[in-house]
Amino acid sequence: MWLMLLLLALAGFEGLSVLISRNQLKQFDESIIQIVQGWESPALTRIAELFSKIGSSSVTIPLIIALAVILFIVLKHRKELILLIGGMLGSTLLNELLKRLYHRTRPDIHRIAEEQGYSFPSGHSMAAFSLYALLIFILWRHIPSRGGRTALIIFGLCMILCIGLSRIYLGVHYPSDILGGYWVSACWVAVCIRLFRRSERR
């Protein structure tokens, strides 16, 4: 059952990529971009730039290193360390592979920021989803209270959503880039967690 659901999810991602390659999501993308960029203001631009920075490698890499030190030295959770590092490395390599495979250029409707490279799927959204989804899974197991777990989920979801929206707001990604990034990262994180649980049972 689990494998079938994963295959269905991957088929859905491939369906999304086909729609993008055939330019059949143009109206959807442009309508969302118009809504999000319609909020433009100096204050929101600064907030979007902040979340975009948080989702960049210049912040995520030091954050992952700090978390790795805590997991390895302080908490002695070495299997969880492997899950975190392996999950993030795999997500990064997968994003690079998919970008080279699909070659989608970035939007040129209204650029508030500049970015190089291909557009689909969004690297920021993949990194954000992978990182915060893995953190939710790892920390959930060590937070006993319902309130703490709820706060953890809300924080993680807000970070994932805000980083994705910031990329649309700044004009460097289509909404379908963000959706694709979330989609494929969800599949990847599901595989990582599945393998982690199997290794624990052994």
Helix residue ranges, H only, 38-145 = 42-54, 57-69, 78-102, 123-140
pLDDT band at 179 (very low <50, low <70, confident <90, very high): very high
pLDDT band at 87 (very low <50, low <70, confident <90, very high): very high
Length of the chain counted residue by residue? 202
d(CA 54, CA 202): 37
Kindly state the tokens that stand for 67.
């978390």
Average pLDDT, the chain: 90
Per the CB < 8 A criterion, the answer to whether 59 and 88 are in contact is no
d(CA 173, CA 182): 13
- Of all residues in the chain, the percent with pLDDT exceeding 90 is 58
Q: What pTM, to 2 d.p., does this model score? A: 0.91
d(CA 165, CA 177): 11
d(CA 191, CA 88): 13
Residue type, 56: S
d(CA 164, CA 53): 12
For residue range 35-83, list pLDDT tens digits in order: 999 888 999 999 999 999 999 988 999 999 998 888 888 777 778 888 9
d(CA 191, CA 126): 15
pLDDT at 160: 97
Residue 5 has pLDDT above 80, yes or no: no
d(CA 95, CA 98): 5
pLDDT band at 8 (very low <50, low <70, confident <90, very high): confident
For residue range 128-167, list pLDDT tens digits in order: 999 999 999 988 888 888 999 999 999 999 999 999 999 9
- Cite the active site residues: 124, 173
